[in-house]
């Protein structure tokens, strides 16, 4: 006769074995969840004893972002807009520390910004060392989008005409049990059908909380800095113009032919822009570049931007943040590291008077590298004959515009390479197999 106790022991052993397997495979994510909890508690405690109202406001902003994510069973589609959400978080923290500034984002020292990118690189690298992280992040963000839209469709039952009719006539309580059964059956169906997607949603949520904790802390470090702008002579900056490398696309040889064509067309929008290139315009160019490359690799996808894997995002974030941080190693950057972004851009309004200037028409005919070199030459020649402050502003504006475009092009080329790596499909794989 079969012993029930042996069966119970066998079942218990199987359950225990499965739990141990899950613990081993998900150890890195479980560890990350615990560290997120500790970090969030640390922020909450800091708000209680914070003497600085600015820091308290910044900490509360970070806490609200994280708690909003933690309170959701399933992420909304808006939660997948990583770039916009991150930008909004940084803006709120910058405004907390610089409430009277018209452009609070620019109230950051260049050195602090570059150091923050190195700090971000270190945080991302630490994540990649957690056991099992690489394996459990091998899914596309598209899966989370599918789950989010499925949940939205489930919630739409409240818009059924029969529900609205019963609710308007006060009959809904009589049929509450029926709707409850329908919802339970529907929920059970989707839970079984999308069990894997639900697990991936949880993993992404844990990583997003970590992301906002890291970004929030780094933003506080950047914008809480109180070091005054040093006095830097315009001549000392212009003297290093020859050290600025030509803005040639060094990475184009690493790109496939079609991607190279997309990259060059996008790059030229920055390189040959009529005059001053503002960040809003450049950000739009970057977004279009990413969308175009994603579309090239995933032409049949409804939203190719979501065909990226979480593991790929981690790797690209690590590489890109490191490459941005290394900008401070360029000799011509050394003299402006301690300037605030707002100070470095203070002469941008001076470009208004150049609209009808004869020099501008000459500048437009030359490539960017020539603008770097000739601005110093022009400055020195005119300084001897017409040492007017207006032309000093003009020379510095040329230099500032040249440095700005070099930076935008540098970032553009790095983004193009990383985006191509993110979205390209291995030869032995299909876009819809994972």
Q: How many CA atoms lie within 13 A of 337 on its CB side?
A: 15
Of the pLDDT bands very low, low, confident and very high (cuts 50, 70, 90), residue 170 is: low
pLDDT at residue 3 tops 80 = no
Nearest to 302 by CA among 109, 63, 142: 142
Q: Which of 417, 141, 425 is nearest to 289 (CA)?
A: 417
pTM, two decimals, is: 0.78
The per-residue pLDDT for range 182-241, each reduced to its tens digit, is: 555 555 555 555 677 878 888 999 999 999 999 999 999 999 987 766 665 655 665 555
Listed ranges 107-116, 181-190, 266-275, 345-354; the one with the highest mean pLDDT: 107-116
d(CA 123, CA 207): 12
Q: What is the DSSP string of 58-84?
A: HHHHHHHHHHHHHT-SS--GGGG-HHH
Q: How confident is the model at residue 101 (pLDDT cuts 50, 70, 90)?
A: confident
pLDDT for 183 equals: 55
Q: Which two tokens stand for residue 66?
A: 């994280």
Q: How many residues does the chain have?
A: 434
What is the rounded average pLDDT of the residues 238-249?
Answer: 60
Packing angle of the helix pair 53-70, 195-223 (nearest 10 deg): 170
Look at 60-74, 153-167, 275-289, 348-362 and tell me which has the smallest mean pLDDT. Answer: 348-362
pLDDT tens-digit readout, 283-304: 899 999 999 999 999 999 888 9
Q: If you average pLDDT over residues 375-393, what whole number do you get?
A: 50
Mean confidence (pLDDT) of the chain: 76
Tell me how far CA of residue 407 lies from CA of 279, 324, 329, in angstroms.
11, 9, 13
| 37 contacts 53 by C-beta, under 8 angstroms | no
CB crowding 264-280: b at 16 or more within 10 Å, else e: eebbebbbebeebbeee
Q: Where is mean pLDDT largest: 131-140, 160-169, 195-204, 388-397?
A: 131-140
3-class DSSP assignment, residue 309:
strand
Can you tell me the mean pLDDT for 47-58? Answer: 86
DSSP codes, 90-101? HHHHHHHH-TT-
What integer is the mean pLDDT of 391-398? Answer: 57
Where does residue 106 rank: exposed (0-12), middle (13-18), buried (19+ CB within 10 A)? middle
Task: Count how many Cα atoms sit within 13 Å of the Cα of residue 214 in the half-sphere of its side chain.
Answer: 21
The per-residue pLDDT for 363 is 47
HSE-CB at 415 with a 13 A cutoff on CA atoms is: 23
Within 13 A of 173's CA, how many CA atoms are on the CB side? 1
Collapsing DSSP to helix, strand or coil, 274 comes out as coil
Contact indicator for 131, 27 with CB cutoff of 8 Å: yes
Q: What share of the chain is helix, strand, coil (3-state, %, to 5)?
A: 75, 0, 25
For CA atoms 330, 331, 337, 340, the dihedral sign is negative
Contact 368, 412 (CB under 8 A): no
Q: What do you get for the CA distance between the two ends of the chain, in Å?
A: 47
Question: Predicted confidence band at 94 (pLDDT cuts at 50, 70, 90)?
Answer: very high
Number of neighbours of residue 23 by Cβ within 10 angstroms: 11
- pLDDT tens profile 303-333: 899 999 999 999 999 999 999 998 888 776 7
Burial class (CB in 10 A: 0-12, 13-18, 19+), 214: buried
pLDDT of 366 strictly over 70 = no
Indicate the DSSP class of residue 320: H
Closest to 412 in 3D by CA, of 258, 262, 307: 262
Q: At residue 92, does pLDDT exceed 90?
A: yes
* Element (DSSP H or E) covering residue 376: helix 368-385
Percentage of the chain exceeding pLDDT 70: 59
Question: How many other C-beta atoms are found inside a 10 Å radius of the C-beta of residue 36?
Answer: 21
């Amino acid at each position: 006769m079969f012993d029930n106790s042996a069966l119970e022991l066998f079942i218990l052993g199987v359950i225990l074995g499965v739990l141990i397997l899950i613990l081993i495979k998900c150890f890195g994510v479980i560890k990350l969840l615990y560290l997120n909890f500790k970090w969030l508690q640390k922020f909450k405690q800091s708000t209680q004893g914070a003497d600085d109202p600015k820091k308290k406001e910044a900490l509360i902003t970070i806490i609200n972002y994280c708690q909003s994510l933690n309170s959701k069973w399933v992420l909304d589609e808006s939660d997948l807009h990583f770039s916009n959400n991150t930008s909004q978080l940084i803006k709120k923290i910058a405004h907390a520390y610089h409430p009277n500034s018209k452009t609070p984002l620019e109230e950051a020292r260049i050195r602090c910004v570059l150091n923050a990118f190195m700090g971000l690189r270190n945080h991302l690298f630490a994540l990649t060392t957690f056991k099992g992280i690489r394996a459990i992040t091998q899914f596309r963000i598209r899966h989370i989008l599918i789950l989010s839209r499925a949940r939205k469709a489930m919630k739409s039952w409240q818009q059924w005409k029969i529900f609205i009719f019963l609710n308007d006539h006060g009959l809904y309580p009589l049929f509450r049990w029926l709707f409850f059964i329908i919802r339970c059956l529907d929920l059970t169906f989707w839970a079984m059908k999308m069990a894997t997607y639900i697990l991936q949603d949880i993993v992404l949520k844990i990583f997003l909380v970590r992301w906002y904790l890291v970004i929030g802390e780094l933003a506080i470090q950047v914008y809480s800095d109180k070091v005054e702008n040093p006095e830097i002579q315009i001549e000392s900056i212009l003297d290093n113009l020859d050290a600025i490398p030509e803005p040639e696309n060094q990475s184009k040889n690493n790109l496939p032919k079609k991607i190279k064509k997309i990259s060059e067309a996008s790059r030229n929008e920055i390189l040959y822009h009529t005059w001053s290139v503002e960040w809003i315009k450049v950000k739009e160019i970057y977004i279009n570049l990413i969308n175009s490359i994603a579309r090239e690799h995933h032409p049949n996808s409804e939203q190719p931007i979501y065909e990226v894997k979480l593991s790929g995002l981690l790797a690209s974030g690590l590489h890109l943040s490191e490459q941005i941080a290394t900008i401070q190693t360029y000799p011509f950057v050394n003299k402006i590291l301690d300037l605030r972004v707002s100070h470095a851009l203070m002469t941008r309004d001076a470009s208004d008077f150049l609209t009808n200037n004869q020099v501008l028409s000459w500048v437009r005919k030359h490539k960017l590298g020539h603008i770097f070199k000739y601005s110093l030459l022009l400055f020195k020649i005119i300084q001897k004959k017409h040492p007017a402050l207006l032309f000093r502003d003009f020379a510095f504006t040329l230099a500032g515009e040249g440095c700005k475009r070099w930076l935008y092009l540098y970032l553009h080329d790095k983004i193009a390479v990383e985006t191509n790596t993110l979205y390209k499909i291995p030869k032995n794989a299909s876009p819809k197999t994972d």
